[in-house]
């Protein structure tokens, strides 16, 4: 699992961009603190990130990972 900041570094973008893609439903995510009454701890599974990156390369211009 990786954080939004780690994912932003991986893609060369900002954490806010990661937040937007997550809010749009483009990126699957997990809240490690869910049901514990704590502040959200958002993480992304590496398998999901890699799948998103593969799809983005096949469909350029559709909210892909790394932008050219």
Residue 21 counted as domain residue: yes
Spell out the long-range contacts of 42-47 with Cβ–Cβ below 8 A and sequence spacing 24 or more: 42/3, 42/4, 43/1, 43/2, 43/3, 44/1, 44/2, 44/3, 44/4, 44/7, 45/1, 46/1, 46/2
What is the pLDDT confidence band of residue 68, given thresholds at 50, 70 and 90? very low
Cα separation, 16 vs 12, in Å, equals 12
| Token pair listed for 12 | 């060369």
Question: Per residue in 3-58, pLDDT tens?
Answer: 999 999 999 999 999 999 999 999 999 998 877 777 789 999 999 999 999 988 87
Residue 16 counted as domain residue: yes
pTM confidence score: 0.75
Residue 45's domain comprises 4-58
Q: Compute φ and ψ for 8, nearest 5 degrees.
A: -60, -45
pLDDT value, residue 67: 45
Q: How many distinct structural domains can be found in the chain?
A: 1
Residue 63 has pLDDT above 60, yes or no: no
């Amino acid at each position: 699992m990786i954080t939004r900041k780690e994912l932003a570094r991986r893609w060369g973008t900002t954490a806010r961009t990661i937040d937007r893609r997550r809010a749009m439903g483009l990126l699957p995510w997990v809240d490690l603190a869910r049901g514990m009454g704590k502040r959200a701890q958002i993480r992304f599974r590496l398998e999901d990130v890699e799948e998103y990156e593969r799809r983005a390369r096949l469909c350029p211009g559709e909210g892909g990972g790394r932008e050219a």
